[in-house]
Structure 1
Amino acid sequence: MTPNIPLYQPKAALVVFTASGFTAPYIEYYDMDETGSPVNPHPLTVREAQSLAKALDTREQAGKAFLRPEGILPANVLHIDPSANGSVVWYTKAQRQKMYFTESLGLQNGTVALPALVWKATKKELQLFALKSKTKPKAETPLYHAPFFNLYQKGNVCMGNVNVAIKSAATLEEFITAWQGYFFESYFSHHINDHNPVGVNLFNLYKELMADPEKPFPTDTLRPTPLTLKKLL
């Protein structure tokens, strides 16, 4: 079947003239007749220039593309606010993840077992929480402090000198992939305001998990927050 492709007809043309010794170009606007030939040449008017600028402005289209899924909505996405300054809440299952640490922390880079996590991100900020359950969280599922260095008490992540640059037209999948990359490819360094997210020494816990590849993350060490998933939304 032949696709129904619209037939575009020429409506106008612009011709840019330059002259030796002059830096500013001269622009003429031409209407197009029914045969596609240029007619009615005249200097580009302010109204025509404004119309052209609007047609070339891709910001509105980019805003419409922001957080649009590439296909079927991913199963791990829990909530989307698709506005220009919107946010996404998603979760990741328990996993083993390569992590990086600053020399000052005294911990070797290595692969660590992690619990299931709940992520909430805007274009500029990231919050992170942990789950004890292995199933998809529901509205009343309690949230726990995520077991990482560089986190504030309320779950906000200190990204340090990481250059967070989320595209204004990022799809939902690009947005999620970018944030997880920024987080796990950054270097962890310290507790913030003496906030220890777990009930044991986090440094020693990481060493134990890296030493035993079969050891799952001990969720009984997670400390509760006053939040449920519903309150986070």
Structure 2
Amino acid sequence: MKNITDKFSRTYLPAKALLLYQQQGSDEFYIESYDIGKSGTPINAHPLSVRESQSLADVLNTSEENRQGFLQPNGLLREEVIYINSQRNGFVIWYTPVKKRHLIFKSGLTIPDGMASMPPLLWKATASSLEIWALKESKRPEMSTNLYYAPFFNIYTDGRVCMGNVDIDIDTDCDLETFISTWENYFFGSAFSHLLTEISPVKVNIVPLWQKLISSGEDFPKNILKKHPKTIKDLLS
């Protein structure tokens, strides 16, 4: 995980303030620039100079350049990717087929850590949040594909994952492949601790289910999944 200590040790102080005037009934504007004094108050009001305008443009261009790589693939788009929204508050929807993953559990659950078979999963993630559901078929889902509750602890009934004290650090220029792998590592790299509701997300007792899957190595029994009211179409907004 990235060391971001330096981001907290930097000090940013106000340097400029801009006041935008618009002529009534017109599209003409006038920008007044203020320096910020030692006490933090605006001083030295003056029309925005050409030099200041160029400096502001450079800052804005740099901010935009830092986002140009956000959620962009490094090559051909992966088969698992269902949908990409790369806007400022964008998100990605992808699925993972049947595979085995290493799971970590809090000791109070009496479930040993270990490898276990997963059902196909559908993921939706922004730069700061994650939602997850289960699928019954290990193939690329369509708009009409049924969603099922993800058979894990630490997940709300609407699919949102409680990440607890996980330190989420997604760069604004993060490429698509890194974005997906980072979220999957966050999810499976944190310990499952408890159900967030009194209702099990599967048709059986979830504790013995994972105890058996880890000890036996058997495939995940998809018949015990519970259907979720959401559809993929609901996830696109």
Matched, 1:230 2:233: yes
Matched, 1:136 2:140: yes
In structure 2, C-alpha distance between the alignment counterparts of 1:56 and 1:139, rounded to whole Å: 41
How far residue 195 of structure 1 moved from its aligned partner, in angstroms, is 3.4
Percent same amino acid among aligned pairs? 38
Matched, 1:68 2:92: no
Matched, 1:189 2:213: no
In structure 1, C-alpha distance between the alignment counterparts of 2:132 and 2:53, rounded to whole Å: 45
SS of 1:147's equivalent in the other structure is coil
Which residue of structure 2 lines up, in the alignment, with residue 31 of structure 1?
A: none
How far residue 61 of structure 1 moved from its aligned partner, in angstroms, is 0.7
Deviations 1:33-71 (A, max 9, x none): xxxxxxxxxxxx954255235425522112222111111
Contact 1:66–1:84 under 8 Å retained in 2? no
SS of 2:82's equivalent in the other structure is strand
Contact 2:119–2:136 under 8 Å retained in 1? yes
Which residue of structure 1 lines up, in the alignment, with residue 100 of structure 2?
A: 96
Deviations 1:130-153 (A, max 9, x none): 001122111100000011000001
Which residue of structure 1 lines up, in the alignment, with residue 220 of structure 2?
A: 217
Which of 172, 181, 189 is the equivalent residue of 1:168? 172
Determine which structure has more spread, i.e. the larger CA radius of gyration.
1
Contact 1:153–1:195 under 8 Å retained in 2? no
Q: Which amino acid aligns with 2:186?
A: Y
SS of 2:124's equivalent in the other structure is strand
Q: Which amino acid aligns with 2:144?
A: E
1:24-39 aligned at under 5 Å gives the runs none
Deviations 1:71-125 (A, max 9, x none): 1111100001110110000000011100111122222111111100000011111
Gaps of at least 5 residues in structure 1 are 1-44
In structure 1, C-alpha distance between the alignment counterparts of 2:171 and 2:142, rounded to whole Å: 30
In structure 1, C-alpha distance between the alignment counterparts of 2:140 and 2:56, rounded to whole Å: 47
Q: Which amino acid aligns with 1:219?
A: K
Gaps of at least 5 residues in structure 2 are 1-47
CA-atom RMSD in angstroms: 1.5
Deviations 1:153-191 (A, max 9, x none): 111000000011111001111111111011010111000
Which residue of structure 1 lines up, in the alignment, with residue 6 of structure 2?
A: none
1:194-209 aligned at under 5 Å gives the runs 194-209=198-213
In structure 2, C-alpha distance between the alignment counterparts of 1:143 and 1:127, rounded to whole Å: 12
In the superposition, the TM-score normalised over structure 1's length comes to 0.77
SS of 2:165's equivalent in the other structure is coil
